[in-house]
Structure 1
């Protein structure tokens, strides 16, 4: 299999992600990176014809279920509606053979349509041209459209195509559904209604086919029902030069849909069937056109991201990031978060991590605040589960789960993981127990959203409560250390997950301190500005008692400081005492986690090696806490020891490299981040997309190369474009106003679209404007 990123020409230039050959041994790459979706559902792009080793996934956001009491809740793999059994002269289609030519599978990011075309020669020597098209609608979130076209090129053939709804699927063996009901109306409309076994969510699948050979419609398919499957088979003769076409329109609905609130099952299925019939009357091309218009309106014209680079891959990678940020985000429902693999694979069971707050949410905060608000409301709804977790661990307040599913469920992290290479025993996963910085990460995200959007209503309804209750957790989490005469945070995992059971992880301590300091600030402000909201929260959270604890402890929290000798800040209490080894082999690895072929996790605890950015992300988000000299010293110390075994890591290091004026390294790390999914490594995306890295790509472009930051509620831009970038264009929302930004090598142009006053700092100079600002970028600034 060969990935191609330069096939787009004309209007499609830098819009096409493609593969130019097929290997049934390397299926996962294209399945994941070409996955389709709309935030409501995600469809992995497995081929129509089946192959051993394929992963056929259809996920509907928020439909979590436990397959049994011993399993964690996960997004269930819904019925497969894309598989087709295609036989030509009785021979099953198999494009992995040497009898396939002109093979191209391509995802057009602009219209979010997947196409696949090739010429296949049967074992008896007949040439047949086939083309497949597919989309998941952004116009109607419940619609999947498919189209198959076949032409007999050299001789007549006998064709058989079987298609329908196949619920003989699982999540890597775990079955989440009862068998349910199956019906076919008028020999045409297929219906399957099934229910999850524990959460009891009803799923309704409806599909319809429109088949014809030449201009003759095929209306009498053979109908087959079996256990968990309904299929229709269309058979016909296709003469030389004649064409066969099959359109398939499918709708997916669930009882979790907000539009179905209060309905009984029969009402839901009737409404779902009516939706299908209306879509069927429109047909594939009309539905696709509406879908493409929705993408232009909701994505491309809205975000207006453009890069003029000597390396055209940069523009494609940026569009690829915007595409996947769109398809992964459940913008339709505030009860749902973004999964670590989006809706593109079974990895991490569809759970949400800190990935959202620290890597993905900044894009939405600045680019689409309504979606950001929805994602933060999900965390507000998650206070129920966070409070349960705090109480069960003996703490007060809200302790957010490391892995979140349905908001009220609480912690969903698994307890056991990989096999230890040394002992041969299964390794306990401690993240759900002691990786606790996520609680402060959520509070930080709330603050960032408020500073950028000035959404006071959100704070009054949700934001203050999150910040206060997370601060209550940290106050109860602190442990007094007699030797230091300070409060410590012991036995945690920081962002560097190769260091377990550490004391005073710098990132955790600083962010806990930030969380409590922020709560103290808002306690005072809210009490004065909105006593009604304050009183309500005071009664619920006992804020008058909490403020006493915060005041007593805030200045006594241990915050690791730079060494007098070399300015290095200890990542935790013992990191700097550990053995230093040559990490060249792992820094140059072609795929992640190769270090586990040589060391166990316990052994890594005794080596100065980091999985991912730890102190570096602290320097990025709380940059005013440290001098430039400290950042340089620590970057030089920790970057060589960070092997970037997490996709979260590269973007942070790229941004800091740019901040510290190492533009070549910044671009190199940016390109590596883009290539986690878009690169030549064919196994990297098997479990699904790396969503945090996708969010990180946008951050490198805007927060890194454009140098945009929010500091204490003020906006700053210090552009440092890569040497081979001639222009960068993007938009951001700032305090409710859209700003359109154009950066060239020598100029920064910012347009305030609503002509409201803006204050912007550029390289230390403050500018005020209410329409257009032009700043000459001196050579020294870049």
Structure 2
């Protein structure tokens, strides 16, 4: 993500037709999407073929993209499984694709065709419907496939298990409307290394652009779903070291390794319909594909159900191919229904912590889709982080301040076990941050701008190295998130062993990085990239200075909690650190007054971030209003595409002013700004750059509700009512269910009383012990 300006450097970068009772019977198969709250159902029809933006199935550890047929071979990724090719930045290595099952009706007068290669055409894919059930975490696809007069009913159900994180499964049911022989293929796709590869760890900005042009590429979005920086955000390579299969056992397996990175493994076990006896089964192997291929005769009107059970692991998480093969075979033995039932139950348990809106079904669906994508990309009980675009190659899978300031707070009160993984990543990689500070002659820790999710090393491309050196507000963001976890959990043992070392090291960094200016009698922070990144070498960026001051102050507070010694320099620097302010006009400035504020940037102004929940700069109400009015001018005048990241700070800021109508207007722009791509509400960074799934903005939207509209803030005394609650004019109420705070669970509701006044109520969660 960005600053509010988002990484400028990266941007350079019919039933009647069939007339068959058997077809109607097949359509009513038991795996039909259950009746549920419509806000959990997102549906694609054949009208979406030309504009289909893929959704994602994931559990935080593994994920795969979707495609319209439901049977395609799709790219898949594993958490922090990175390619470290020499000369390049670290990037997510695509693991062998597991999602596909291909189908052919065999030879005909017109030729021999495979389902996954046939062009999407409503005349061929009839009665089409694909449903993403957010509540169940399941994608179901149905249609009538007409292969030159041979029709087949197709139904596909796929999921990545939330209950058994190493497992994923696909069930395919075919109902042929003919007698004859069909063919099926159950592959693992061995992706070829991406070409071309660029030495992004070495190329200057000019060289990068020349290299892109020399390869006949452009940094331009391609509809419907290719991002503008796709030539730079290609997937990394997984090299298959050993692989095989057993036609009699209906299994496949492989061991691999990311380029110069960790090892991985994958295995498949296929289930056949009861009594189904294929006449020909074989294992096929090429440099690009390992598959089980079978042929069998089928009868008209009969349904045949196949299962594909997949197990995946990586170094440090699970075993080798032999272990994965045992997992896949065990899942096959238990059956698809049992695995699916456990998966659905796990998702239902997650949805007990929810945000429930009464009075706005459309925004409720958006809230549920944003929560779904966050939960699909973050692990519980680990020390793995999330990139701005989750388990995709977006922003090369690197970890920015988005992890700490945008995603973490959105999850903290609803799903603290997932939120903790995000902050524990910073504890785990503290040694790398300390080494980075030492290399620059600084004490403490200097966290990377673009961090490798496995090792915590700096991965900013060379052409953007200035961001890694100067967009240092990330260090304060990291420390503030650590403190927020302590405030929510009250876990002193965690604070002592995990949070405190990070907070202390960051405070040491800021105490050294600030410069004493004797003629002005104050500390200043010079040569930084503003959070509004178009300003890349400014003194005293206000957001940076305010964040640094808070990091220093909370280090002193943390020392007091633990009985540790606080470095007196922390208080000294915090108390005398300059915060730019226009005394005549009575409002803060974006940065030092010596810097002209004259660029038509994406962010326009970073002042709204001063009201962001984890920072929440205390100020007089009059100053707060003047700050908001001052920030609105460059934002309103900007000619740049609206950045979905910037919507939340504006909505939250308006809420702190008690302006419900203005807060609602900014909040509703999430629906109207063109950043939710159909048909599955995949959020992009801007309406036109196709950078998705942009979890950063999803986290911002959820924070608007959890903190902005409630007026609640985490403080040492608990979750306090810092501002009056606000409620959009058309809403009846909204409720945060099972909010977690220091070992207890609450339901928190914002509604109107009998006199129409907006009020907030708290009560123990309905299912709290």
TM over 0.5: yes
Question: Counterparts of 1:519 and 1:159 in 2: how far apart (Å)?
Answer: 68
Question: CA–CA distance in 2 between the matches of 1:635 and 1:559?
Answer: 17
Partner in structure 2 of residue 565 of structure 1: 584
Asked which structure has the greater RCO (Cα within 8 Å, sep 6+), the reply is 2
Q: CA offset at residue 712 of structure 1?
A: 4.6
CA distance in 1, matches of 2:33, 2:539: 52
Contact 2:139 2:158 in 1 (8 A): yes
**Aligned mates of 1:754, 1:11 — CA distance in 2:** 21
Distance 1:632 1:367, change over 3 A: same
Q: Distance in 2 between matches of 1:95 and 1:115?
A: 20
1:136 CA drift (Å): 0.3
* 1: CA distance, partners of 2:293 / 2:187: 9
Tell me, yes or no, if structure 1 residue 666 matches structure 2 residue 718: no
> What's the counterpart of residue 308 of structure 1?
358
Aligned counterpart for 2:189 among listed residues 140, 143, 166: 166
Q: Which residue of 2 aligns with 1:553?
A: 573
Q: C-alpha root-mean-square deviation of aligned residues, in Å?
A: 2.8
Q: What runs of 5+ residues in structure 1 fail to find an aligned partner?
A: 1-6, 261-267, 417-427, 580-606, 757-770, 772-782
Take 1:382 and 1:197, find their aligned partners in 2: how far apart are those partners? Answer: 22
| Matched-pair contact (CA < 8 Å) for 1:576–1:608 | no
User: 226-235 or 608-617, which moves further after superposition?
Assistant: 608-617
1:162 to partner: Cα distance: 1.6
Q: 1:165 touches 1:192 (CA, 8 Å); kept in 2? A: no
TM-score by length of 2: 0.82
Q: 1:475 to 1:640 in 2, by over 3 A?
A: same
1:88 Cα deviation after fit:
2.6
Change in Cα spacing, 1:551 to 1:216, as seen in structure 2 (3 Å) is closer
With over 3 angstroms needed to count, the CA separation of the structure-2 counterparts of 1:687 and 1:156, relative to structure 1, is: farther
CA distance in 1, matches of 2:439, 2:473: 18
Equivalent position to 1:91, from 113, 120, 131 = 113
- Which residue is equivalent to 1:615? 607
What residue number does 2:448 align with? 401
- Say if 1:616 and 1:635, in contact at 8 Å, map to a contact too: yes
Equivalent-residue separation in structure 2 for 1:92 and 1:449 (angstroms): 52
Deviation string 1:241-262 (CA, Å, 9 cap, x unpaired) is 23333211111112221x55xx
| Alignment CA distance shift 1:118-1:572 (3 Å) | same
Residue equivalent to 1:726: 732
Q: Helix, strand or coil for the counterpart of 1:14? A: helix
Is 1:73 aligned to 2:95, yes or no? no
State yes or no: 1:364 paired with 2:414. Answer: no
Matched, 1:103 2:119: no
Counterparts of 1:569 and 1:172, CA distance in 2: 48
Do the aligned partners of residues 704 and 432 (structure 1) sit closer, same or farther apart at CA in structure 2, a change above 3 Å counting? same
1:381 aligns with 2:408: no
Q: Distance in 1 between matches of 2:683 and 2:570?
A: 48
Structure 1 contact 76–170 (Cα < 8 Å) conserved: no
| Contact persistence 1:613–1:652 (CA under 8 A) | no
1:551 Cα offset (Å): 4.5
Secondary structure (helix, strand or coil) at the match of 1:119 reads strand
3-state DSSP of counterpart to 2:238: coil
* 1:192 paired to 2:209: no
Q: TM-score, normalised by structure 1?
A: 0.80
| Poorly superposed stretches of 4+, deviation over 6 Å | 680-683
Among 138, 161, 176, the alignment partner of 1:113 is 138
Q: Contact 1:435/1:493 (CA < 8 Å) preserved in 2? A: yes
| Superposition map of 1:202-281 within 5 A | 202-212=263-273, 215-218=275-278, 220-257=280-317, 260=319, 268-281=320-333
Equivalent in the alignment of 1:179: 240
- State the match for 2:376 in structure 1: 327
SS in structure 2 at match of 1:698: helix
- The 3 A distance-change label for structure 1 pair 166 and 71 is same
TM-superposed CA distance for 1:379, in Å, is 0.5
CA distance in 2, matches of 1:235, 1:13: 40
- 1:408, distance to aligned residue in structure 2 (A): 3.6
1:754: how far off? 11
Evaluate the alpha carbon distance shift between residue 672 and residue 238 of structure 1 in structure 2; reply closer, same or farther with a 3 A threshold. farther
Q: How far did 1:220 drift?
A: 3.9
Match of 2:480 among 440, 444, 447: 444
Q: Secondary structure at the match of 1:739?
A: strand
